[in-house]
Amino acid sequence: MSRLVLFGPGYTGARLADRLQARGWTVTRIGRAEFDEAGHALASATHIVSTVPPGEEGDPVLTRYRPVLAQASAWIGYLSSTGVYGDTGGAWVDESAPIGAGRRSLRAAADRDWLSLGAHVFRLPGIYGPGRSPLDRIVSGQAYRVALPGQVFSRVHVDDIVSAVIAGFDAPQGAYNIADDLPAPQDEVTAYAARLLDMSLPPVVALDDLPAPARAFYSENRRIANGRAKRLLGWQPLHPTYREGLRAISATISPASVSAAPKAAVTDQR
């Protein structure tokens, strides 16, 4: 029987756990409360996945369980970030590029540590999906645009991450970029989401008026190449661009929630 131990059952991890449980797997979800009691589950695991980001003290999973993981016969996976590449000025970047030069130095250190343990490391750009998308932000009145010509980002639908991790169960160890096929400006994606909802464009906000984390997000500009994942995992995204992904999510948003959206955001129908 296949047994997964999942550290950090957040948005993406929970989606993976649900998919595998539907296939008959036994899944042990390890949150903060169970963190120090995972040893028994690890001993019988066939697969181990961590979605836990590092903190100032390093990667908490590795800090607690590195010796166990180093001796484990289980398949090991780690969800990392394409932020490890830093800013490329909008250029394409693949897994052969150096990591650690950007603002995600702690993430880059964790990325290297998991690779040294023989893990499959999945480097992820912006994650979106049901309940966590530009569509949801527009409906809630929290969406905005930032006019930065030439600024592009890569992104990936949560279900495409899940399918990539599962494909990785039978693939060589190493790092894999998991991103869709169309890096695009965030404003372009937001505008498309507004059209799907028949709502007006969110306001433009000056970069200097954004909180520090958002300004940091816009300080890097890169296009993520996914060719290695396609070649070695046999992976193809179900949502190859944001358009397919947002159309699928829009079908799950009720007309009532759109009607209840802030009135200022509704398209003038006159």
- pLDDT at res. 214: 85
**pLDDT at position 257, please?**
77
Which helix (H) or strand (E) is 176 found in, with range?
A: strand 174-177
**How many CA atoms lie less than 13 Å away from 81 in the CB half-sphere?**
21
Give the mean pLDDT of the chain.
Answer: 93
Q: What percentage of residues in the chain have a pLDDT greater than 90?
A: 84
Query: Per mean pLDDT, which range of 40-44, 99-103, 159-163, 192-196 is the poorest?
Result: 99-103
CATH of 3-265, one of 3.30.420.40, 3.40.50.11030, 3.40.50.720, 1.10.260.40: 3.40.50.720
Q: What pLDDT shows up at residue 256?
A: 72
Give CA torsion, residues 242, 101, 147, 215, to 10 deg. 100
Backbone phi and psi for residue 80, each to the nearest 5 degrees, phi listed first = -105, -160
Rg (CA), the chain: 19
Alpha carbons within 13 A on the beta-carbon side of 126 = 24
The per-residue pLDDT for 121 is 98
Whether pLDDT at 261 is above 90: no
> pLDDT for 172-226, tens place per residue?
999 999 999 999 999 999 999 999 999 999 999 999 998 888 888 888 999 999 9
Contact 119, 165 (CB under 8 A): no
The pLDDT assigned to 266 comes to 44
